[in-house]
Structure 1
Amino acid sequence: MSVPADNLLCVNTSHNGSFSHKEAQLGALAARQFGVLSRDQLLEAGVGRAAIQYRLGSGTLVPVHPGVYRLQGAPSSWEQKLKAAQLWAGPSSAISHRSAAGLWRLDGVDPGGIVELTTTAGRSAVPEGIVLHRSKVLTPGDAGWLGPLRVTGVARTLMDLGAVMADPAVVEAAAESAFRRDSDLFARLKRRLEDEARHGRRGFGTLRDIIDLRDPDAAPTEGMFETLMERRLRQWGFEMPVRQYEVKVGDRVIRIDFAWVPLLLGLEPRGLKWHWTREAFQNDTDRSNDLALTRWRIVLVTWWDLLHNPNKIRANLPELER
C-alpha cells in the first residue's frame, strides 16, 4: 500500500507559483511511507527548522509522535501507524511480534491494529498506542525490509510470538503456515533455538515446545483446521493419523484429511468455511457418496465444534480411546 504523491502536496507554494523539486521529492518519500515523515528526513532534505514550524502551524504537517509528522490529507491506515512508530523508534527498531505476524499474514494471528516494535536502543516515554519491546539482540538476519517497513523476519517473529500470545495453539498455527511457505524454515528454527539455549538465552519456550513435539519429517499442515485438530488429538493422547491419505474409489482418488488407516477411520472438516461455493458443495457430496461405497467411516467436524465443543469430536472417535 502507498499513497499517491500528488495527494500529499504538503506546502503552500503560491509564493513561487510552482511545486518545487524539493517538495516533489518529499511528496514521493511520504507516498512511499504511507504519508508520514520524520523531522530528521525533513532536515536532511533541506527543510529548515523554521520551515518545519511554519508547516506545523499551517496544518500541512500534523504531529503524530515526537519528531514524526503526517502530511495533511494522507489517509490513515494501520501501515501508516506502523511506519510512524518505526520512524519514532529509530533505525535500531523493527516491527515485531503480532504486528509482524500480521504483515507476514501468518495463520491464527489477528493483529487487530496493534502497533508493536522491538528495539535494541534505550527509549523512554513511549507514545500512547505503541507497544515497545526491548531486546539485547536483534541481528541483521533477524529483521529486514518489507516494502518501506523494517520488520522482523518470519523466524524471529515466530520466536517472539510465544511471549505475547496466551494460546500456544495460535503460535503453532502461525508456525505451520510459515512452514508451508518455506520448507527449510523448520530446520533453521530448530538450529536457532539450540544456539539460543547454548548461549544461555532460555526464552522462546512456547515455540521451543512446538518444535520439540513436531515430527521433523512431517509435511506442514494444509491449514488452520489440520493444525488445531492435530493439536487437540495430541492433547487427548490419541495415535496421530496420516494426513491427506489417498483412497482409490473406482477411477477416482479421494484424499482424506486425517486417516487412521488400520482402523479405516477418517476425519474431515464440514461446513461453509470449507465448502461455501456450489461447486465445492457438489464435489463434497460426490466424494462423500463415493466413500460410502467403501468400508471407511468418516467423522465430520465443524469449525464450531473444533473451537467450542471438542469433546463432541472425541466422543465420535471411540476407536482411538486406549
Structure 2
Amino acid sequence: MDALLRARAAGQSGLVTRTQARDAGLSPKAIEWRLGTGRWQVVHPGVYQTLPGRGGWETRAVAALLHAGPGAALTHESAAHEWGLIRQAPGTITVVIPAERRARPVEGVLIRRSRHAAARTDPRAWPHRTQVEHTVLDLCSGRGPDRAIALAAQAVGLELTSTGRLRSALGNRRGQRDRSLLLEVFAEVADGCESPAERRYVRDVERAHGLPHGRSQSPFGRVGRRDREYEWGVVVEVDGRLGHASWTDVQRDGRRDRSALVAGRVTLRCYWTDLVPSPCGLAGEVAQVLRARGWAGRPRRCGPGCSIDDSAQLWNLAPR
C-alpha cells in the first residue's frame, strides 16, 4: 500500500474501497492476492478491511457509508448514536443517500433515499451523519412529547445545538409531523425542562392546578441545579428514573436535600409514579407546602375527576 492509501485506510477505520485501491495504483490481481492471503477481508462487496480483526460499531458504520457511496450519511438512530444522543448502538446501520442514487442492499444496513440528503448532512462530522437538528427531528416524528423533550434536552444539554436552531430546522421541514407539539416542546426546553418527567410536572401539576410558576434548573453551589424552585423557599426535585437510581445517586440526592434544608429551603422529591397516571395528589401536596411557606393562592381542580377539593376548608385558611 502506498502512503496515501494507508493514510486513507487509517482515517476510515482500516477500510478502503476497491475504487480507492485502484486509484492508488493497485491492480485487480494485487487486490485479489491480498484478499486471498487474508491480509485484507471483504466486509461488503467492494469494501475491504485492511486490518483484519478490527471491528466495533463505528467500523461497521464506516463500512456501510463506503458501501452506500458518495453522499451517504448515517441517519436516525445511527446518527443519534454517533452524536451521543442515545447510548445503545443500533443493531442495523441506517444510511441515507441522495434520491437520485441507488445502492445494493446488504445485510445489517438499511438504506434510505431522500432528496434532502445533501442539505441535511453535517459537512464537518465524521463518520458522515445528518445534522444534529435533523437527527432530533427524524427521531421525534410521531413519537410523542416525552421522546421529543428527551432528545431535544439531551442535544441542547450537550451543547450540540440550541432551541433556536431546532426551531429553524423545523421551519425548513414542511412535512414534519406534530409541528405545534414540537414548538411547544422546544419552548419548554428553552425554559429549562430537561426530561419528560419535568415536562409532565410543569404541565400536569403546575399549570393544570393553578400553582405558581417555578424556576427551572435553579443554580446552587458551583455546578448544582435544582429542577424546580419557588420563591417561598420550596424546591421540587423531579426524578423520572422509575426507581432504578443507584446507591451513589441516592446519596447525592440526600446531600442535595440536606444542603437545601440548611439554607432554609424545604425539598419535595417526586417520581414518575407520582406523575403518571394521576398527578392530582402531588399537586395537592405541593400546594399545601407552598401555602405553609407563605403562598397566598389556592389550587384549582384540573377536571371532573381531580382529587383536589378547591372548596375545602383547608384552602380557606390564611397562609402562614
Q: TM-score when scaled to structure 1? A: 0.71
Deviations 1:93-137, CA, capped at 9 Å, x for gaps: 11111111111112x563334411111143254111012221111
The answer on 1:119 being equivalent to 2:97 is: yes
The answer on 1:210 being equivalent to 2:182 is: yes
Q: Is the 8 A contact 1:159 1:207 kept in 2?
A: no
The answer on 1:306 being equivalent to 2:285 is: no
Letter in 1 for 2:163: F
The answer on 1:315 being equivalent to 2:281 is: yes
- Paired residue secondary structure (2:129): strand
Instruction: State the 1:275 CA deviation.
Output: 7.4
Instruction: State the 1:63 CA deviation.
Output: 1.1
Structure 1 23/139 Cα, relative in aligned 2: closer, same or farther at 3 Å?
closer
Partners in 2 of 1:69 and 1:184 — Cα distance? 35
Choose which of 38, 42, 59 in structure 2 pairs with 1:80: 59
Structure 1 258/114 Cα, relative in aligned 2: closer, same or farther at 3 Å?
farther
For residues 19-38 of structure 1, the aligned pairs below 5 Å read 22-38=1-17
Partners in 2 of 1:307 and 1:47 — Cα distance? 63
Structure 1 142/300 Cα, relative in aligned 2: closer, same or farther at 3 Å?
same
Q: Is the 8 A contact 2:200 2:275 kept in 1?
A: no
Instruction: State the 1:237 CA deviation.
Output: 6.4
Letter in 1 for 2:147: V
Q: Is the 8 A contact 2:156 2:162 kept in 1?
A: yes
In the other structure, the counterpart of 1:56 is 35
In the other structure, the counterpart of 1:40 is 19
For residues 255-274 of structure 1, the aligned pairs below 5 Å read 256-261=226-231, 264=234, 266-269=236-239, 273=245
In the other structure, the counterpart of 1:97 is 76
Instruction: State the 1:207 CA deviation.
Output: 6.3
Partners in 2 of 1:243 and 1:169 — Cα distance? 17
Partners in 2 of 1:76 and 1:143 — Cα distance? 25
Choose which of 186, 191, 216 in structure 1 pairs with 2:163: 186
The answer on 1:286 being equivalent to 2:258 is: yes
Q: Is the 8 A contact 2:218 2:229 kept in 1?
A: yes
- Paired residue secondary structure (1:117): strand
Letter in 1 for 2:128: R
Instruction: State the 1:205 CA deviation.
Output: 1.6
Deviations 1:243-271, CA, capped at 9 Å, x for gaps: 134699xxx9x953213546946234498
- Paired residue secondary structure (1:256): strand
Partners in 2 of 1:184 and 1:281 — Cα distance? 29
Aligned residues: 280
Instruction: State the 1:168 CA deviation.
Output: 4.4
The two structures, once aligned, show a CA RMSD in angstroms of: 3.7
Partners in 2 of 1:72 and 1:213 — Cα distance? 46
Structure 1 162/71 Cα, relative in aligned 2: closer, same or farther at 3 Å?
same
Partners in 2 of 1:309 and 1:266 — Cα distance? 13
Choose which of 192, 211, 230 in structure 1 pairs with 2:198: 230
Letter in 1 for 2:269: L
Structure 1 23/168 Cα, relative in aligned 2: closer, same or farther at 3 Å?
farther
Choose which of 120, 129, 132 in structure 1 pairs with 2:111: 132
Deviations 1:42-98, CA, capped at 9 Å, x for gaps: 011111112112222222221111111112434211110010000011111111111
Q: Is the 8 A contact 2:132 2:160 kept in 1?
A: no
- Paired residue secondary structure (1:257): strand
Partners in 1 of 2:104 and 2:277 — Cα distance? 48
Which structure 2 residue ranges, 5 or more long, are not aligned? 208-212, 288-298, 303-320
Q: TM-score when scaled to structure 2? A: 0.72
Q: Is the 8 A contact 2:17 2:48 kept in 1?
A: yes
Q: Is the 8 A contact 1:275 1:284 kept in 2?
A: no
Which structure 1 residue ranges, 5 or more long, are not aligned? 1-21
Partners in 1 of 2:219 and 2:39 — Cα distance? 63
Letter in 2 for 1:231: R
In the other structure, the counterpart of 1:5 is none
Partners in 2 of 1:233 and 1:29 — Cα distance? 51
Structure 1 207/65 Cα, relative in aligned 2: closer, same or farther at 3 Å?
farther
Letter in 1 for 2:96: T
